Amino acid sequence: MVLATTNERCRGQEPGSGTGYQMVLINNPAFAGSNGDGSLRMSYVNYLPGNGYNLHSVWVSYDSYFPVLHGGAGFAVTDDYTGGIINDLRAAMSYSYSIQLGRDLFINAGLSASVIHRGFNFGGAVLPDQIDPLGGASLPSAEALAYNGETLFDLGAGLVLMSERFFGGISVTHLNEPGFTETGPSDEKLKRTLFSYVAGDFGLGSKNDLRIRPQIFSAVREGYLYAAAGASVEVPLFSISVLAIRDGAKNLNLQPGFSFTKGNLSIYYNYTFSVASGNNLMPFSLLHQTGLAYSLNNVEKRNSIKTINFPK
C-alpha cells in the first residue's frame, strides 16, 4: 500500500505473523509436518487496540507429516483487514522434504505457493475534498473510487535444522516480489523478507515435567530489522512466556503470554506493549493475540520421524 501527499510518501507491507510458533507455517514452509501430528492452528490479532484503527488479522493453518511424501504438507488461509478499507485474503500450500544428516540431525527443505487477493471497500473512506475546513462536515466527493481489487501469485522457501535439544530455521518470503500494479509496480511490490528462528528444549526435574524453551526470532526486509529473544517455561498443563522485541525504528517492546493445554487442545494469549519508543507516536498497547492449536496426536508418525515441540 502506498500513501501519498504533496510533502511525503510512506510505504507499508502486509501485517506480519509475529514471533509466535503457532503461526510459523505462514513464514517458513519447512516447518510443515515438523510436529509429526496433524495440527490445526487458529489465531486472531488486534493491532494497536483502543485507537480506533480497525486493524485485524485472522490465520488458520493445518499441517501434518505424510510418509508417502517423505515429508510434511499443509495449507494456510489468512485475512488481513486494514482500517475497514483494504482486505488482503491469502491462501497458501506448503511442502517440506525431510532428510536425515546424522544420528540425531535432520533437515527439512520447504517450498510454498500462495494466492493473494487484495480487495477494497471505499464505503467508509473520507477523501480530502470531502472535509469542510470550517465546519468539519463530510461533503460529497468529486472523485469516484471504483477499484475492483487484484490477485497475485506468491512464492516462498525455507530450511529447518533439527537436533536433540535445538532447532533452527531460515526462510525467504515473496521470492518473486509480486506487485499490485494499479498504482505502479515499483511501489506496490511485496519485498523479499528473510526470517530466522532458533529455539531450545531443556527438561528439568526427575521426570522432565518442567521445561524451559529459549527462543530467538528475527525478520529483515530492505535493511529494516525486527528481532525478539526470550523463553517459555512450561509444565504439563500450563506455560508462561516473555519476549523482548527490538526493531529498526529503535522501539523496544515486551510480549508476555500464557497457554493452557488439556489433552490435544492448547489455548494461548499474547499481549505486546511498548517499553521505549523511537518516536512519540507509538501507543502503549501494540497488539492482542489469541488462538488455539488442536493436535490429532498420531503417535505412530511421531515415533518414525524427528519432530519438534514448539515453544508455547
Delimit the domains of the chain by residue range.
14-124+147-304
Whole-angstrom distance, CA of residue 32 vs CA of residue 29: 6
Q: Is 136 exposed, middle or buried (0-12, 13-18, 19+ CB in 10 A)?
A: exposed
- What Cα–Cα distance (Å) separates residue 173 from each residue in 54, 72, 195? 26, 19, 8
Whole-angstrom distance, CA of residue 247 vs CA of residue 219: 9
Look at the pTM and tell me if it is higher than 0.75: yes
Whole-angstrom distance, CA of residue 285 vs CA of residue 141: 35
Q: Are the CB atoms for 188 and 182 separated by under 8 Å?
A: yes
Q: Are the CB atoms for 196 and 169 separated by under 8 Å?
A: yes
C-alpha cell at 47: 493491532
Q: How far apart are the first and last CA of the chain?
A: 33
DSSP state of 300: H
Q: How many CA atoms lie within 13 A of 203 on its CB side?
A: 9
Tell me the CATH class for 14-124+147-304: mainly beta
Per-residue pLDDT of the chain (312 residues; tens, 9 = 90+): 444 444 444 445 566 656 677 788 889 999 999 887 788 999 999 998 987 788 899 999 999 999 899 999 999 999 998 877 788 999 999 999 999 888 889 999 999 999 999 887 766 666 555 565 655 556 555 555 556 778 999 999 999 999 989 999 999 999 999 887 654 445 578 899 999 999 999 988 777 789 999 999 999 998 889 999 999 999 989 999 999 999 888 899 999 999 999 988 999 999 999 999 877 777 889 999 999 999 886 655 555 677 887 887
Whole-angstrom distance, CA of residue 195 vs CA of residue 17: 11
C-alpha cell at 70: 517423505
DSSP state of 68: G
